[in-house]
Amino acid sequence: MYICSLKLRRGACGTGCCDHRWWTSSTGPHGVDRYTELVEPTWTLGDSRAKVVAVRRQTQRSVTLTLEPNAAFRAGARFRAGQHLNLTLEVDGRRRTRCYSPANGENDRYVELTVGLHDGGLVSTYLRDHAHPGMVVGLNGVGGDFVLPASRPRRILFVSGGSGITPVLSMARTMKAEGADREHHLHPLRAYSGRSVLPR
Ligand SMILES: Cc1cc2nc3c(=O)[nH]c(=O)nc-3n(C[C@H](O)[C@H](O)[C@H](O)COP(=O)(O)OP(=O)(O)OC[C@H]3O[C@@H](n4cnc5c(N)ncnc54)[C@H](O)[C@@H]3O)c2cc1C
């Protein structure tokens, strides 16, 4: 099956066939995603998804996932440093959704999530034990008001606790990528397992 564009811009090719709604109504009752996902699970117009491209287990109680979002995710709300999103995956035949704050800079191509283990926690335990490159997850629901001010201050003190370090890392990485001459002081109150997961 040929799809002329995944950019979801209405009528981008002049015929209206780039419109997600056009494809959905033309391929009912299931919608186009139920066909294209059979070829490639991330090849969906409506469902925001991502493929796990790297997995790092830096401590015994955490796992860091590098995710490559699909076109449907990139066409949605733009992620800003400090915000969170919803990760959905299947655990023992049931879909589970949890909220995570990416640790990557806001203009990065890849989304990086560091998941700290919760004792008895369903999703964090599953990801710590089973996450692997090639795994496909749902990714949507970008939101949250904890973001950098548009006018960046020259000196910033970040104080975080536990997994709260991830949105702060995203902010620090974003400002580093912006390249301006600023002072960042990062004070993690407690890192996973007492061992720092800060990037080198
Ligand atoms: C805005 C936001 C951002 C977040 N960002 C991050 C992040 O970047 N990194 C991160 O690691 N986490 C983050 N979290 C937390 C994350 O969403 C999950 O809550 C966390 O991963 C635990 O999920 P889980 O499925 O492993 O645990 P769950 O299965 O949801 O269980 C959580 C805890 O409750 C206990 N529990 C479960 N069921 C019961 C029950 N019936 N009775 C008693 N106790 C029970 C479990 O033992 C466990 O300790 C964030 C949360 C929010 C709201």
In SS3 terms, 120-171 reads as CCHHHHHHHHHCCCCCEEEEEEEECCCCCCCCCCCEEEEEECHHHHHHHHHH
Any domain includes 124: yes
Q: Which of 112, 115, 117, 137 to mutate to test the pocket of ligand 1 (most atoms within 8 A of CB)?
A: 115
Give the residue numbers spanning the domain of 105: 49-143
Protein residue with its CA nearest to atom 48 in ligand 1: 121
Give me ligand 1 centre to Cα 121, in Å.
6
Protein residue with its CA nearest to atom 27 in ligand 1: 121
* Distance linking the first and last C-alpha atoms of the chain: 44
Are 83 and 128 within one domain?
Answer: yes
Q: Residue 116: which residues within 8 A CB-CB, separation 6 or more?
A: 61, 62, 124, 162, 163, 192
Are 35 and 53 within one domain?
Answer: no
Any domain includes 149: no
- Count of domains for the chain: 3
Are 93 and 56 within one domain?
Answer: yes
Give me ligand 1 centre to Cα 186, in Å.
24
The CATH number covering residue 122 comes to: 2.40.30.10
Sequential pLDDT tens for the chain (200 residues): 434 344 444 444 455 555 666 666 766 777 888 888 888 888 888 889 999 999 999 999 999 999 999 999 999 888 999 999 999 999 999 999 999 999 999 999 999 999 999 999 999 999 999 999 999 999 999 999 999 999 988 888 888 888 889 999 999 999 989 887 777 677 766 544 445 444 44
Give me ligand 1 centre to Cα 163, in Å.
11
Any domain includes 27: yes
Any domain includes 83: yes
Are 53 and 34 within one domain?
Answer: no
Are 120 and 166 within one domain?
Answer: no
Give me ligand 1 centre to Cα 73, in Å.
24
